Amino acid sequence: MSLPAHILMRAPVNANAGSKVKAGAGREFTHILLMDDDAIIEPDSIVRLYGLLTTLRDEWSEAAVGGSMMREDFPGILYENGSIWDQDHAILFKGDNDMCVYEHAVADYVMKPYGENERFSGWWFYCAPVTTMRSDNLPLPIFIHRDDIEYCIRNQAKGIIFLNGIGIWHRPFDVNDPSMNVYSYGRNGLIMTALHTDGAKQRKKLLMSIFRGILISYTVRYRYTDIELLEKAVDDFLKGPDFIMYTDPEQILKEVQAVSLKFRLPEEWAEYGNSGSSCVSAGAGNNGGTGNARGTGNAVLLEKQAGNSAGKKAVNSAEYLTEREYKTVAAEIEKFGKEELLKSIREPRKTGSLKVKLSLNGCLLPASVPLKAVPITASPVELYRVKKAVVFEPYGHKSYIGVKNYRKLFNCLMIALRCMRRLSSEGEKVSLMYREKFAEITSVEFWEKYLGL
């Protein structure tokens, strides 16, 4: 079997608003395939897709085809194979199963069809017929996050098919967690709830649930500045559909990045307070600091510059690492290699006891652990009653320092009260506004203006 030897579509130059496609002039085609530009694909997946589309029965002719996602770091492990959106969160189906194990590779969820009108596929690999991707049924302009889920939910009645052997390899999403996620999960999750939840009472309940879920998840990780971004997400949602229609998405990205949590290498957080030693702060390397990094295995060691204090400056020690703290953290991070990451993938995720939950993961209790380094993939329970946490990415080891702070915790509580009050009083009115403008936002006329085509 050979594939058609012609281009079916072209991608125009556009703003940072997602990967939108436009049909080539004069071309006739039946389907559109959306893929991530940073995904790895086995070409045979395209062949299998083509074969499937040419043999579909009439009752499935308008169904979409989703692709599974395998981990790029552990190529044999399935990260996601179609998921279900359960009101306010995604349920990943059989994630992190090793397909090199025979029992997993021949399991029913791999070999047999199911959930054709319940599951959704990420746009790392999503193929839909042109009868679905019509000029009056285009995606929402809410890149990044949730635009793919919203589109699948909207077209759920037509069905979606997952076939063994169709999919890609991609960097897993849990190995880093930039602050942009807080904003986009918050704002876009609220928009999706406004559009696809029936009944004013249920909408209000889920708007609150989405907000609370994100609030708690990041507060217990000491990511206090991210809660301010969550408030911005609520504020932008409550501005109504005109905000996402007429605001430059690149400007939103710049505003979010300006106040985002900073991830840096451990040695960039190091602060040597001893006399005659260098002080390496967050700006080392571009402000005349004298810290000199030297790679050793997985950790990076700093050479102290005896007798040179040019790089010294007054810092809040809680926001940096002392020499002793740095050495402790560097040693812990060095121990965490791919074997430990794989072990954490395969083991059940830790959950907190009733005491842990009632104390907000220990945020309301005095700290009992002075310092701890944990991977960003770890359960928040690992930070229970920790005073200072260095939370690092498994690859590259960039990290943030989270410090238990009652004043900042109180500020998060004030943000929560403000946001919940506004969602309660304004949420339903704004939800109806999104519903009224839904047809306009998803039309080709809007998108052509939005992208300046």
Residues 231 and 186: beta-carbon distance below 8 Å? no
Work out the percent of the chain whose per-residue pLDDT is above 70: 83
Helix, strand, coil percentages (3-state) for the chain, rounded to 5, are 40, 20, 40
Mean pLDDT comparison of 7-16, 35-44, 110-119, 319-328, highest-scoring range:
35-44
Q: How far apart are CA 434 and CA 46, in angstroms?
A: 37
450 belongs to a structural domain: no
33 belongs to a structural domain: yes
Shared-domain flag, residues 254 and 270:
no
Shared-domain flag, residues 44 and 89:
yes
Shared-domain flag, residues 166 and 145:
yes
Name the domain boundary from 139, 171, 203.
171
Name the domain boundary from 171, 199, 222.
171
Q: What is the pLDDT of residues 208-231, one digit of tens each?
A: 999 999 999 999 999 999 999 999
**Residue position matching structure tokens 């200072």:** 388
Check whether the bond before 46 is cis (ω within 30° of 0).
no
Q: How far apart are CA 441 and CA 450, in angstroms?
A: 10
Average pLDDT of span 87-100: 80
Indicate the pLDDT class of residue 189, thresholds 50, 70 and 90: very high
Shared-domain flag, residues 31 and 158:
yes
Mean pLDDT comparison of 67-81, 270-284, 310-324, highest-scoring range:
67-81
154 belongs to a structural domain: yes
Cα 152-153-155 angle, rounded to 5 deg: 65
328 belongs to a structural domain: yes
89 belongs to a structural domain: yes
Indicate the pLDDT class of residue 14, thresholds 50, 70 and 90: low
Shared-domain flag, residues 429 and 389:
no
Shared-domain flag, residues 57 and 167:
yes
329 belongs to a structural domain: yes
Shared-domain flag, residues 54 and 166:
yes
**Per-residue pLDDT at 188 exceeds 50:** yes
**Per-residue pLDDT at 18 exceeds 90:** no
Shared-domain flag, residues 138 and 223:
no
Q: What is the pLDDT of residues 294-344, one digit of tens each?
A: 333 333 333 332 333 334 444 455 678 888 899 999 999 999 999 999 988
- For residue 221, which phi and psi values (nearest 5 degrees)? -100, 10
Shared-domain flag, residues 149 and 246:
no
- Residue 292: what pLDDT? 33
Shared-domain flag, residues 167 and 184:
no
15 belongs to a structural domain: no
**Per-residue pLDDT at 349 exceeds 90:** no
Q: In what order do the strands lie in the sheet with 386-392?
A: 369-375, 386-392, 399-403
Shared-domain flag, residues 208 and 80:
no
- Residue 428: what pLDDT? 97
Name the domain boundary from 368, 397, 426.
397
Residues 6+ apart with CB under 8 A from 268: 280, 281, 282, 284, 285
Shared-domain flag, residues 155 and 60:
yes
**Per-residue pLDDT at 104 exceeds 70:** yes
Domain with 306 in it: 266-397
424 belongs to a structural domain: yes
92-106, 175-189, 255-269, 280-294: which range is least confident on average? 280-294
Q: How many domains does the chain have?
A: 3
- Residue 350: what pLDDT? 86
The greatest distance separating any two alpha carbons of the chain, rounded to the nearest whole angstrom, comes to 80
